[in-house]
Amino acid sequence: MGGDYGPEVVIPAAIAALNELDFLHLILVGDQDRIQPVLDAQRSGITERIRIQHASQQVEMHEPPSQALRNKKDSSMRVAINLVREGAAQACVSAGNTGALMATARFVLKMLPGVDRPAIITALPTISGHTHMLDLGANVDSSAENLFEFAVMGSVLTSVVEEIPNPKVALLNIGEEEIKGNEQVKQAARLLEKSSLNYIGFVEGDGIYLGEADVIVCDGFVGNVALKTSEGIAKMITHFLKDAFKRNFYTKAAATLAMPALKSFKEKIDHRRYNGASLVGLQGIVIKSHGGADIFAFQQAIKEAVIEVRKNVPQRISSQLEAILTARQVV
């Protein structure tokens, strides 16, 4: 029940997801005294598919991960991830503190065999559909081997979720030439060239949104900056368009005529549609929602969790990674 808005957003989003997916059952984890009144106010006939799991603590948004891990053993975040470990739930969706969520998930669920570090991956819009990009902030510094693992995990997730048989994988770099980039990126490129992945080389920042690859790999520092910059640009463009169309009678009339096209444009760049980043590399499914997500956005995060559960994403990442690592040892 974390995030900026807590139960006031999470519970209506949960009801919306239950209305859309009749097979779904949800566990709301948090302070029961705070959750129950909000749930009762929904007046929904499907609350029998919801149960409340009380948790007496909450991780604050700016709380250090180590402190949350050590002192908040009955936090809603910890209890929810424990439910996944115990098999009482198949996935956890949280809008809480990203660092604490990553640390707690890694501690409780453990890593998949052969994976050194987890990564954060999400879909981003492109001119031809969308791409998946990782890491988006879990690891500030990543070795070449880490980037290679990210590529494998991103390729498997994209293949499974998007049903793309052999996704195109690229490394994000400051140029497309082989001589460009830091040593980690160059070494990762050499590893990927020898692998069975459909590695297409380097892409620059503009290639993310031009749809040049299905999977784009980078370290968490670069990925997070790229993501936040993209969100800022989208908000700026939306602001400029609104301002331009409100200037006078003629621009307002033009806005009315252009409304269908503007609506389509807004939908394509609406970051809420892509809410729900996966923490890949764990022995369980954990989805991170944006802390400021509204009802629609949080519903998308729930749906992302459902997709990954039904597609058995962790198990398929594990088997694919094992096959690739075994092939490397043989060579």
| 3-class DSSP assignment, residue 304 | helix
Task: Report which DSSP code applies to 277.
Answer: E
Residue 90: pLDDT band with limits 50, 70, 90: very high
CB 140 within 8 A of CB 219: yes
Of 31-35, 56-60, 79-83, 208-212, which has the strongest mean pLDDT? 79-83
Report pLDDT digits (tens) over 207-257: 999 999 999 999 999 999 999 898 888 888 888 988 988 888 888 888 888
Q: Where in the chain is the domain with CATH 3.40.718.10?
A: 119-272+317-330
DSSP state of 234: H
Rounded Cα–Cα distance for residues 153 and 147 (Å): 10
Helix, strand, or coil (residue 264): helix
For helices 144-162 and 313-330, the axis angle rounded to 10 degrees is 130
Q: φ, ψ for residue 182 (rounded to 5)? A: -80, 175
190 Rama class: left (phi>0) / alpha (psi -120 to 50) / beta: alpha
Look up the pTM and report it: 0.91
Q: What confidence score (pLDDT) does residue 331 get?
A: 52
Q: Which amino acid is at 323?
A: A
Q: Please tell me the predicted confidence (pLDDT) of residue 77.
A: 96
Average pLDDT of the chain to the nearest whole number: 92
pLDDT tens digits for 160-197?
999 999 999 999 999 988 888 899 999 999 999 999 99
Per CATH, the architecture of 119-272+317-330 is what?
Answer: 3-Layer(aba) Sandwich (3.40)
Pairing mode, strands 50-54 and 26-30: parallel
Give the DSSP H/E element, type plus range, for residue 142: none
How many angstroms separate the CA atoms of 208 and 22, rounded?
36
Please report the pLDDT score of residue 247 as a whole number. Answer: 87
pLDDT at 230: 87
Q: Distance (Å, rounded) from C-alpha 234 to C-alpha 187?
A: 33
Give the gyration radius of the chain's Cα atoms: 21
Mean pLDDT for 12-31 is 95
Q: pLDDT value at position 102?
A: 95
Which residue did the predictor score with more confidence, 21 or 42? Answer: 21
- b/e per residue 187-211 (b: at least 16 CB within 10 A): bbbebbeebebbbbbbbebebbbeb
Cβ atoms 138, 219 nearer than 8 A: no
Please report the beta strands in 248-309, taking only residues with DSSP state E, as ranges in sequence order: 277-280, 285-288
Residue 43's CB is within 10 A of a number of other CB atoms, namely 8
- Give the residue from 274, 288, 256, 241 showing the smallest Cα distance to 92: 288
For strand 129-134 and strand 215-217, is the pairing parallel, antiparallel, or unpaired?
parallel
pLDDT for 330 equals 57
325 pLDDT higher than 90: no
Residue pLDDT, tens place only, 98-119: 999 999 999 999 999 989 999 9
> Is the pLDDT score of 292 beyond 80?
yes
